[in-house]
Amino acid sequence: MRKTLQKNSLQKAVAVILCGICSVAVINSQPIAEKSTVKTNPKDDIKPMPVYGHWKNFTTKEGLPNDHAYCVRIDGKRVLVGTHEGMAVYEDGKWTTYTTKDGLAHNGVVSIDVSELTGDVWIGTLGGLNRWSAGKFETFNQLNSGLPNDLVYCVYCDGKDVWTATGGGAGHYDTYTKQWEIFTEKNAPMHEPWTYGVSAGDGKIFIAAWGGGVIEYTTKTKQFKDYTDPDGEMEIDLLPDDGPVHDITTGTTYGDGLLWVSTYFGLSSYDGTHWKGYFDHDSGLASNFINFVRAKGPVVFICSDKGLSSTNGKSWVTYKKNDKNGDGVAIIKNYGRIDDSTVDKTTKELPMAPCVAHNFVIGVDADDQFLWVATEGGVSRGELLK
Amino acid sequence: MKASRIISVIVFLSVLGLIIYFTGGKWARTHVNYITATGDHPLNCLSCHLYTQKSGFIYKLVNKKYLSPFNLAVSKDGSRLYVVAQEDNSLLVVDPQKRKVLNRISVGNLPHSVILTNDGQKAYVSNQWSDNVSVIDLASAKVIDTLNTGNGPAGLSLSADGKFLYVVDSYSSNISVIDLNTGEERKRFNSGNNPTGAELSPDGKTLYVTSRRALIAPYGETIETELTVVDEGIQRIRDRRNIESAYMMENVAFTPTGDMAMITMIRPKNLVPSIQVEQGWMMTYGLTIIEQKENGRVIQLLLDEPNAYYSDPFDIVITPDGKKAFISHSGVNTISVVNIDSVRSLISKSSPEQLNSYSNNLGISSRYVIKRIKTGADPKGLALSSDGRLLYVAEQLEDRISVINTESLETVGSIKLGGPRIVTVARQGRRLFNNSGHTFQNQFDCYTCHPDMHEDGLVYNMASKDMGRNLTNTQSLRDIGDTPPYKWNGKNQTVYKQDGMRFSTVLTRTEQFNYKDLDALTAYIITGIPYPPNLQYNPNGELTESQLRGKAMFERTKDSYGNVIPENNRCITCHTPPYYTNLKMAYVKTLAVTDDSMLFDTPHLNNIYASPPYLHDGRAATLEEIWTKYGTEDRHGRINDMTKNQLNDLVDYLKSLRAPTYDNIVTKKFHAKN
C-alpha cells in the first residue's frame, strides 16, 4: 500500500511538473570567473572531469517556442530541443520550431534520439512517436501501429532498432522488418507497464520500469533480468550498494562499461558485478530527485530538481543557479562518495555568471565542445572550459 | 427378329442421345451464360476448362515457360548484352553482333535489375523474390556471391567510388546500402512507397530513388509520391520530395550535364468520377522533370497526345550527348523519343503558370516528342550502347531484344532470346492484360491499375448511377481464380463476367474483348498471377511466437472474458484458409454514408501486408486501424476485449499469411457455382 501511495503521488508530481512548471529564465551576459580544469585524485588513472562555463541561455525571447524544455539532443551541427510547444531546432544561430502543423504527433516533445546509422531523428511525444527524416515526419501511434502507448517518455536508437519507454510498456521497433514488440508486466519482469526510460549498451537494453527497477534485456538471447532494490524499503536505502537504490526508476544510461540508473531517491551505478549508490548527502549529487541521466563516455550527467550534476564516479561537478539572480556556481568535489578512500574531500565552488537557466533540469546532452541542458526555464548551452 | 431388336436399340440410343444433346446443351448453355454473363459465348468446353487449370498435367501441356526479359545492361565495348530473364530466373549473356545468346546464368527468383561494375568484371542482379543480389563474375559467367538485402530488391546503383551497392527494396520500401568489401548490409534507409528505380547523378553526389505507389493519405487529398534523395557522400537521406498528382514513378535518368533529372510517371485522376474517359480524365502519362539547382523546379510534361495516350511509361535513358531521351511505354508497345533541347527551351520560355498548366496539356508533347517507335509486346528495360548509337529494348512478352538506331530512330534489328515459339492462351492473355489497345484511345490497361498484377494502392471514384458514391479501393489480382465473387460488392461471380461486357461499359469505353481474347485474359488471370513469397513476415512457414499467439486469437471461439464469440463474429468464420475468405458477402459495419446499402465481399488475406490501404474504400491506412479506428463496435470480429499486445500479435499473424502454394496446400479447383 505504501508503495502504491508513493508511486501515485510521484506520478502526479511528475505530471504536474511536466505540464505546469513555471519558468524563470535568466540571461546574463557577464563573463564568468574561470579556472582551468578540475582534476580528479592523482592516483586515479582517469580523465579529468570536464567543466563547462560561458553559459548562454535560450528562452522564448531567443526563439524557443516555450520555456518548458523537456529534452535536448545534439545532432552534428544542430541541436534538437523538445519543448511543451513543439520541437525547436537550433542551427546556424537560429531557432526553428516544428509542431503538429508540420506533422509532429504532439507538441509535447519529451524525448529525442538520432539514429547513428541513418541520421533519422526519432521523437517521443505525449501523443505518439515520430520519425523525422530529411524534413518529413512519420507518425507512429497506438492506433496506427504497434507502438504500445502514445505517451512516449523515452526513445533510444540502438543500431537498426528503436526502443521506446511508454505509458503502456516498452516498445521495440525493428526498422528493418518494421515489426513491433511490446514488453509489459505480461511478458517481462515488470511491476506494471509504465516505463520511463530506456537505453542500450553492451548488447543489452536497460528499461527503467516504474516500480520495477531496471529490466535488462539481452538482445541476442532475448532473455530478461530484472534489478530491483533488494531491501524492499521505499523510504530509505536500508542496505547500501545491494542493488538499485530504489524500484521507482526514471532513467538508465550506459557508458564506459557502467550502467547508471536514476530514481527519485538517488543514483545508482552498476559495473556488471557491483552496485553503488549515490545520494545528495554522501556525494556531489545536487538532489536525489533525478529526472534523467545521460552518460557520455566515462562521465554521466544527472538532471535533478536542484541542478545539473556530473560525475565519473571519482569526482563531481554540479551546476546550480542562484535563486536570486541569473548567476550560479559550479560545485566541484574531488571524491565519488564520502566514504571513498580518497585524499581530497574538499568542496570547491566556481562562480558562474550566468549559469544554467533553471535548476529544474530535465534533459542534457554533450559533445566535445558544448553541454546543452533542458530546463523548465529554457535551454542552456555551456562551453567546455579548456 | 434380330434386325428389329437392333433397330429398337438404335432408336432407343438415338432418342437417348437426342435427349442428352438437347437437355445437356441447354444445361451447357445455361452454365456458360452464367459463367460469362452473356448469352452468346460459344459452347466450347476447352476454352474454359482446358486453359484455366492451375496445375497438373493439363496445365503443363497448355502452358510454356517463357523468359520475359525485363531489364538489361550493355558492356562498355558494346560486345555483350546482359539481359535479366525474369521468368527464367536467369541472366542471359548475349552477343548483339551475332544476335546470339552465349550463356545463361541462373540467379535468384524473379530477377529484376542488372548493373555492371565500372571495370566490367562483375554484374549484380537483384532477385526480387529471393531478397538478395547475385554477384556474377562475368569472365567465368558464374555467381560468386550472394548478398542479402531487404524485401523485394529491385533497382540497383553503385556508389561513385564503386565500394557500395545501393539496393532498392521495393516491397519493404527501403534502400539497402551494402559494403562490397564485406558483402554486409551497412545500413537501411526508409524510402518512399514501393520504390524501384535508382540512379546516381553524373557528379556522383546524389542518388535518386523513385517510388511507384503514392503515400497513404485520406481519400480526397491530392496524391503524392516520394522521390527519395540520398546524399551519396555521407550516406544519408538528404531530401524526401513529394511529387504531387503522380505515381508509378518507375525509373529516372539524369542528363549528362546533370542539369535535369527526368522521371517516368503516371498522373491518375482517381478523385474524379470515372464517367469520362476522354481528354485524360482517367490517366495521363509523362515525365516529371526536376531541375538540378538550388530551388530547382519540378515540372511535369505529358507524353500523350489529345487523342492518343502512351500508357505505362517504364524506363528512360538519355543519350551520352544529352540530346535525346528514350522512354518505353509498355502499355502501347512504343518508345517515345524526346528532344531534350526542346524541353529546355520550352521550360526556359514558359512562365510559371504555363509550366504548371503543362501537366494537364495533352497537346504540349508535340513540342518535344520527335518520334514514336513501335516495338514488340511489352517493352520494359532500356539500355544504350556506350557510344549512344544503339538502343536496346527488352520486349518482355516477346522474349526478344529490339535494336534501335538512335540517329535514324528506326528499328534496325532484333535478337531472339530463345523462348518458346508459340504464344499460349495464357501468354496471349498476359499480353492483353498489359496492353491498352482495348481501351478508348489507348488510355490504360489492366496493368495500369494493377501493376505487377497486384493493385496500385489508390481509391477510385468509379462510375456509378450516382456520382461521388461507392469509393473503391483497388484489389489485388494475385491468385484470385479461386476466390469468387469479384468486386467489393460481389456482383461478378466469375472473372469472365468481371472482364466482359461490364468492363468495356464501365472502364474501357470501347468494344468489349472478343470471346477469344476474353478467354485468354481469363485464363491468364486465373492461372498466371502467383503471389510473391512472403519473405518479410513468413519466409519459411515457421511462425514466430507472436504470430502463433496471433493465430490463436484469429481462431479463438471465446473472448478474453470467457464469453463465447458468436460464430459469425469470429475471424476464422469469414476468413477461412487457405485464401482466408469464405467467398461470401458480409456486413462488418463499414458502410460509409457515400456507399449504397450493400454487403461486401469478404476479401482474401494472403499477403495482406502488401495491400494498404484497407477496407473497401481504403479508409484504414494500416491493419491496426481496421480495428482501432474503424472497428470499435465489435462488428468486424470481437476485438475490443484485446490488449494492445494481443492486437499486435493478431496483426503479426495477419502479416504472415501467404499463398497456399508456399505451404504445399492443394487448393480446391475453381468451380463457379451455377
* Phi and psi, residue B315, nearest 5°: -110, 160
Instruction: Please report which confidence band the pLDDT of residue A45 belongs to, taking 50, 70 and 90 as the band edges.
Output: low
What span, in angstroms and rounded, lies between the C-alpha atoms of B107 and B129?
A: 11
User: Sign of dihedral through CA atoms B643, B646, B652, B653?
Assistant: negative
B-chain CB neighbours of A169 within 8 Å are 644-645
B224 and B345 assigned to the same domain: yes
Per DSSP, the three-state class of B568 is: helix
Q: Is-contact A376 A360, C-beta < 8 A?
A: yes
Instruction: Find how far residue A80's CA is from the centre of its chain.
Output: 14
Q: How distant, in Å, are the alpha carbons of B28, B31, B52 from that of B673?
A: 13, 9, 16
Task: Say which residues have a Cβ less than 8 Å from residue A120's Cβ, sequence separation at least 6.
Answer: A114, A131, A132, A133, B190, B237
CATH number of the domain within which B584 lies? 1.10.760.10
pLDDT at B463 over 90: no
pLDDT recorded at residue A325:
86
Residue B650's H or E segment, with its range, is helix B644-656
A-chain CB neighbours of B228 within 8 Å are 134
Q: Is the CB of A134 less than 8 angstroms away from the CB of B625?
A: no
What span, in angstroms and rounded, lies between the C-alpha atoms of A262 and A164?
A: 17
What span, in angstroms and rounded, lies between the C-alpha atoms of B268 and B283?
A: 4
pLDDT at B626 over 70: yes
Q: Is-contact B225 B211, C-beta < 8 A?
A: yes
Give me the mean pLDDT over the A84-113 stretch: 98
Beta bridge mates, A79: A74, A90
B111 and B221 assigned to the same domain: yes
DSSP for A328-376 reads: EEEEEES-SSTTS--S---EEEEEESS--S-S-EEEEEE-SSEEEEEET
pLDDT at A29 over 90: no
Whether residue A222 lies within 8 A of chain B, CB to CB, comes out as no
Q: How many CB atoms sit inside 10 A of residue A291's CB? A: 27
Higher pLDDT, A39 or A234: A234
Q: How many CB atoms sit inside 10 A of residue B542's CB? A: 9
- Express each pLDDT in B64-92 by its tens digit: 999 999 999 999 999 999 999 999 999 99
Whether residue B239 lies within 8 A of chain A, CB to CB, comes out as yes
B370 and B275 assigned to the same domain: yes
Domain count, chain B: 3
pLDDT recorded at residue B348:
95
* Residue B1, domain extent: 1-36
Which among B340, B337, B313 has a CA at the least distance from the CA of B410?
A: B337
Whether residue A164 lies within 8 A of chain B, CB to CB, comes out as no
Q: Is the CB of B187 less than 8 angstroms away from the CB of A118?
A: yes
B263 and B395 assigned to the same domain: yes
Whether residue B670 lies within 8 A of chain A, CB to CB, comes out as no
Q: Choose the closest CB to A134 out of B150, B239, B652.
A: B239
Instruction: Find how far residue B398's CA is from the centre of its chain.
Output: 18
Higher pLDDT, B665 or B601: B601
What span, in angstroms and rounded, lies between the C-alpha atoms of B197 and B637?
A: 40
Reported for B538-547, long-range contacts at CB under 8 A and 24+ positions apart, including other chains, are B538/B655, B538/B656, B538/B657, B538/B658, B541/B662, B541/B663, B543/B653, B543/B656, B544/B652, B544/B656, B546/A181, B546/B648, B546/B649, B546/B652, B546/B653, B547/B649, B547/B652, B547/B653, B547/B655, B547/B656
- Chain A nearest-CA residue for B191: A133
Give the start-to-end residue ranges of the domains of chain A.
Answer: 2-384
- B/e letters for B231-243, b = 16+ CB within 10 Å, e = fewer, are ebeebbbbbbbbb
Q: Is the CB of B625 less than 8 angstroms away from the CB of A138?
A: no
| Pairing mode of beta strands B459-461, B471-473 | antiparallel
Which among B122, B209, B192 has a CA at the least distance from the CA of B157?
A: B209
Per DSSP, the three-state class of A316 is: strand
pLDDT at A36 over 70: no
A-chain CB neighbours of B645 within 8 Å are 169, 182, 184, 186-187
Which grid coordinates belong to B359?
501537366
B-chain CB neighbours of A142 within 8 Å are 628, 644
Q: Is the CB of B644 less than 8 angstroms away from the CB of A187?
A: no
Q: Which of B365, B384, B416 is the last residue of a domain?
A: B416
Whether B511 is in a domain gets the answer no
- The architecture that CATH gives domain A2-384 is 7 Propeller (2.130)
pLDDT recorded at residue B665:
61
Residue B495's H or E segment, with its range, is helix B495-499
Task: Say which residues have a Cβ less than 8 Å from residue B521's Cβ, sequence separation at least 6.
Answer: B429, B432, B433, B446, B499, B513
Instruction: Please report which confidence band the pLDDT of residue A236 belongs to, taking 50, 70 and 90 as the band edges.
Output: confident
Q: Is-contact B224 B629, C-beta < 8 A?
A: no
- Express each pLDDT in B220-278 by its tens digit: 999 999 999 999 999 999 999 999 999 999 999 999 999 999 999 999 999 988 877 78
Whether B13 is in a domain gets the answer yes
Q: Is the CB of A186 less than 8 angstroms away from the CB of B643?
A: yes
- Chain B nearest-CA residue for A119: B236
Q: Is the CB of A117 less than 8 angstroms away from the CB of B150?
A: no
Q: Mean pLDDT score of chain B, rounded to an integer?
A: 93
User: Sign of dihedral through CA atoms B581, B583, B589, B595?
Assistant: positive
CATH number of the domain within which B131 lies? 2.130.10.10
pLDDT recorded at residue B272:
87
What span, in angstroms and rounded, lies between the C-alpha atoms of A143 and A149?
A: 9
pLDDT at A128 over 60: yes
B-chain CB neighbours of A135 within 8 Å are 239-240
B-chain CB neighbours of A136 within 8 Å are 226, 240, 242
Q: Is the CB of A134 less than 8 angstroms away from the CB of B240?
A: yes
Q: Is the CB of B237 less than 8 angstroms away from the CB of A168?
A: no
Q: How many CB atoms sit inside 10 A of residue B552's CB? A: 13
A-chain CB neighbours of B238 within 8 Å are 134
Q: Is-contact B330 B380, C-beta < 8 A?
A: yes
Within chain A, what is the greatest distance between any pair of CA atoms?
A: 58
Q: What's the pTM? A: 0.92
Beta bridge mates, A262: A251, A267
pLDDT recorded at residue A13:
44
Whether B426 is in a domain gets the answer no
What span, in angstroms and rounded, lies between the C-alpha atoms of B215 and B510?
A: 32
62-101 in chain A: CB under 8 A from chain B:
none
Q: Choose the closest CB to B624 out of A120, A138, A143.
A: A143
Pick from B624, B625, B646, B656 the residue to mutate for testing the A interface (most A CBs within 10 Å): B624
Whether residue A148 lies within 8 A of chain B, CB to CB, comes out as yes
Whether residue B548 lies within 8 A of chain A, CB to CB, comes out as no
pLDDT recorded at residue A46:
63
Whether B508 is in a domain gets the answer no
603-642 in chain B: CB under 8 A from chain A:
621-622, 624-625, 628-629
pLDDT recorded at residue B597:
83
Per DSSP, the three-state class of B154 is: strand
Give me the mean pLDDT over the B303-307 stretch: 96
pLDDT recorded at residue A231:
85
Instruction: Please report which confidence band the pLDDT of residue B508 belongs to, taking 50, 70 and 90 as the band edges.
Output: confident
Instruction: Please report which confidence band the pLDDT of residue B1 belongs to, taking 50, 70 and 90 as the band edges.
Output: low
Per DSSP, the three-state class of A272 is: coil
User: Sign of dihedral through CA atoms B45, B47, B50, B53?
Assistant: negative
Residue B47's H or E segment, with its range, is helix B45-49
Q: Choose the closest CB to B645 out of A120, A136, A182.
A: A182
pLDDT at A16 over 60: no
Q: Which of B383, B416, B449 is the last residue of a domain?
A: B416
What span, in angstroms and rounded, lies between the C-alpha atoms of A166 and A302?
A: 21
Q: Is the CB of B237 less than 8 angstroms away from the CB of A118?
A: yes
Q: How far is B632 from chain A (nearest CA, A)?
A: 11
Q: Which of B400, B416, B432 is the last residue of a domain?
A: B416
What span, in angstroms and rounded, lies between the C-alpha atoms of A219 and A147?
A: 19
B23 and B124 assigned to the same domain: no
Q: Is the CB of B190 less than 8 angstroms away from the CB of A131?
A: yes
Whether residue A142 lies within 8 A of chain B, CB to CB, comes out as yes
Q: Is-contact A219 A203, C-beta < 8 A?
A: yes
Per DSSP, the three-state class of B531 is: coil
DSSP for A113-132 reads: EE-TTT--EEEEETTEEEEE
Whether B608 is in a domain gets the answer yes
Type of residue found at A295: A
Q: Is the CB of A142 less than 8 angstroms away from the CB of B644?
A: yes
- Express each pLDDT in A185-221 by its tens digit: 999 998 889 999 999 999 999 999 988 999 999 999 9
What span, in angstroms and rounded, lies between the C-alpha atoms of B476 and B452?
A: 9
Whether B137 is in a domain gets the answer yes
Q: Is the CB of A143 less than 8 angstroms away from the CB of B625?
A: yes
Pick from A130, A133, A139, A150 the residue to mutate for testing the B interface (most B CBs within 10 Å): A133
Q: Choose the closest CB to B644 out of A133, A134, A148.
A: A148
B-chain CB neighbours of A139 within 8 Å are none
Instruction: Find how far residue A84's CA is from the centre of its chain.
Output: 17
pLDDT recorded at residue B285:
98
pLDDT recorded at residue B509:
82
Task: Say which residues have a Cβ less than 8 Å from residue A21's Cβ, sequence separation at least 6.
Answer: A68, A360, A376
Whether B366 is in a domain gets the answer yes
Q: How far is B536 from chain A (nearest CA, A)?
A: 7
- Chain A nearest-CA residue for B653: A179
- Express each pLDDT in B366-415 by its tens digit: 999 999 999 999 999 999 999 999 999 999 999 999 999 999 999 999 99
Whether B173 is in a domain gets the answer no
Instruction: Please report which confidence band the pLDDT of residue B164 belongs to, taking 50, 70 and 90 as the band edges.
Output: very high
